[in-house]
Structure formats: C-alpha cells, structure tokens
Amino acid sequence: MSSQPSVDVNSMKHAVMPSVSRKWSNLELLSAMRRYAGRFALVVASTLLGLVILEVCVRVLMPQNPEFYDSSKIIRLSSTVPRFPENIPNGRNESYVGVPVRINSLGLRGPEISIPKAPHTVRIVGVGDSITFGYGIAEEDTFLSLLQSKLNQSSDGGQKYEVVNAGVEGTGLDYYLHFLKTEAPNLQPDIVLVNLCLNDIAIYSETGGKSERPVGKSTDRLVRRTSEFLLRHSQLYIALYMRLKSLLYGLGLLDINKIQGYNFLPLERFSPRQEKAWESSLQILSKIDELARRDHYRLVIVVFPMEMQLSADALRLYRDQFHVRIGAEAQSGVPQKRLHEFANERGIPVVDLLPVFRTADSGKLYLRNKVISLDPIHPSPLGNRIAANEIFKSLECGEFMGSAHVAISEQACNMMLSSRQ
C-alpha cells in the first residue's frame, strides 16, 4: 500500500493566514479612509461656514466696493489681432481703485472731443500705460488734465489747448505705435507725448506684447482667474486682498522678482537680456519717430522714474519690505541717460522727471491709499502735479511744432535747435 504524503499543518496555516490578514487590513484601511474623509469633509464644511460668516460680517459691518478692482467695465482685449488691451468706448466705473473713471465714445479717458478738431485748437495727445491713464487718480488730477489747465490759463486767448488722454492700462511701446498708426490720425494731433515708464523697456514679440511678461503655468492662470472672480464677488477677499498680497511678498512666500521682475529689468545690472530689451524698445521708438515725421506732428518723450530711483532710502524700502533684488545701480540714472542719447540723435525733446522727483521726494510722490501701501510705479496726485508742471515748463519757449505754437524750456529749446543744425 502506497504511503500517503504527509501534510504540514503549520505550512497550511501560514499559507492561508496572510490572505486573511490582508483582507482584514484592507477593511481596516477602508474604514480609516472613511473616518478621515469624514473629518476632512467636516473641516472643509466648517471652514466654508466660517468664511460665509466672515463674508456676511464684512458686508454688514465694513462693506467693500466690488467695483474697486473691477476693470472689466472700462478695459477689454481687442477683438482683432494683435489683441492689445483697449479702453471700452463709453465705459464707466464710479470707483475704480477709489476714483470715478469715464471713457468717451472714442475710447479715451475723459470728456468727448470734436472730430475734426475745432479751429484754433492745439491738440496734444498723450499715449502711455496706466501712468498716463491715471491709475488710482481722479480725472482732474491726472498730469494730462492738469497740463491742459495750465496751458489754457497761460494762453492769450487766441487759441485753445486740448490735451487728450490716450493711456491704456497694461500696454507698452508696441501698443503706442499701434495706436499712433491706427487711431491718432483721426485725432489730428499737433503734439504727441509718449509717456514712458521704465517697465516699457522690454523685449517685444513680433506679434505684439512683451515677450518676457510671464504668462504662467495653467495653475497660475487658474489662481489669477479665481482671484479676479473673488475680487468681483467677495467683499471679504476685497478687504484682505492687498494686505494679504503685501504680507506674502514681505514673508517671501510670493517672489516679486519672479512675478513682476520684468518691471525692474532696466534697473538691474547690465546683462544680454537687458541689452536685447533696449534694442527691441529703441527700435519701436524709432518707428514712432518716423511716424511722427511722416504725419507732421511734434514728438516729445516724457520719462517717469520708479520710486526706488529717487533715493537710497527708497531703494532700501523695497529691498527690505518686498525683497526686490536690485542693487545700487538702480540709482545711477542709466536708463534715462540712454533715452537721452537716443533722443538727442534724432532731435526729439525729452522731459526727464527723475531730477525734479528726486528734489521733491518726501515719500509722497507715489500712489498710496487705504489699500495700496506701496507702489513704485504710479505717481500720486502730488506726483502728477509735479509731472504736469515740468511738462508745462518744457512747452514754454515759443517753439513751433507743426501748426502749434508751444513752449520748450530754454535748455530743451537749445537741444532741439542744435539737433536740427
């Protein structure tokens, strides 16, 4: 009789037990996941409820203005290529960044103007970005509006001065050229003021726009769109927005050099990237000059400084509070000197605001309000007044610009006359 194979009961036990153990472990894991999911849902629900309560409290106790940051009523992207930002004709926002803004039927900030130009009118058109537009500045306090008042007050009554605000937020030199090609001829300007901030010095793409302005990853775009939505719909978010943003910059959780570093490129130490930006920008300025000569209006370049250029204290402020990585070279004035060199070669008058801003610096020349604690780019109402005075001085020496009898300060007059010899 054949022998039966022996069976190792212990081996069988070990062969079966792991599967049972795994079964029970999976059940326990599933149970744990359900517990944690329930706790997570409770935390989310509690957080949302807390935010809803805070939203209600803000709306009742300290109501915010949902129009404060809402540019959608006054600015849009053009429907045609190149898709530049443009002002919405007849757009209105009664409290955009704290001030009323009106856009006329031609897409210009301010009152309606006559087309064609009225007889005996000297029309000055100012092109530029948010500085020219008057970000956070009431219409009557913008430097272009103040300039118009000063010119008309000084006039002998024989002619009227009309200063037109063609500024559009978020634009650059390529848009200024586009506007002067397509829209300016209809306005019949005698003088065009190209109002430059140093963040206009950039690398421009062939299709329009600053090619180095960060577009961001899809997650960055989602965050930005979510932020824009909340700014329109959440008063709690509006109340915290600028304070939270400044805090994150100050703590280094948001890197201003990555997010807005393109604004400071001309103030950095020399680099191939910076040189490429200068080549790109001066090429567009050359085209603007050629256009002005072709269309027979006088071109004037106005250069607005950044606040960190004014003093060592101002530079230290932005380096300490926002960790801006620019050095003492920001104080050199090299960008302004380079623009002067370009303009002198072509006989273009330049109104350089850096010297007068340095002289008047009291920490009050740049925009500050209840939500904006620091802004290195946009002049305050006082800064706008100083800019208007300086431009007015540069239009006072009896120089003929096309059909307009306008002034230039003695120094600027001498520069213009010598450049034509």
3-state secondary structure 237-302: HHHHHHHHHHHHHHHCCCCHHHHCHHHHHHHCCCCHHHHHHHHHHHHHHHHHHHHHHHHCCEEEEE
Q: Provide the sign of the torsion angle of the four alpha carbons 178, 183, 184, 185, taken in this order.
A: positive
pTM (predicted TM-score)? 0.81
- Mean predicted confidence (pLDDT) in 412-419: 45
Burial per residue of 209-246, b for 16 or more beta-carbon CB atoms within 10 angstroms, e otherwise: bbbbbeeeeeeeeeeeeeeeebbeebbbbbbbbbeebb
| CA 137 to mean position of chain CA atoms | 14
The span from the CA of 125 to the CA of 137, in Å, is: 18
Report the first-to-last Cα separation within the chain, whole angstroms: 130
**Alpha-carbon distance 274 to 329, whole Å?**
13
Q: What is the pLDDT of residues 119-149, one digit of tens each?
A: 999 999 999 999 999 999 999 999 999 999 9
The CA distance from 123 to 117, in Å, is 8
- Report which secondary-structure segment, H or E, holds 94: strand 92-96
What is the per-residue pLDDT for 261?
61
Asked if the model's pLDDT at residue 199 lies above 60, the reply is yes
**Which helix or strand (DSSP H or E) is residue 369 part of?**
none
Residue 161 — pLDDT band, cuts 50, 70, 90?
very high
pLDDT mean across residues, the chain: 84
Q: Residue 44 above 90 pLDDT?
A: no
Higher-pLDDT residue of 409, 26: 26
Strand partners, 99: 96
Mean pLDDT (whole number) for 156-178: 94
Are the CB atoms for 148 and 123 separated by under 8 Å? no
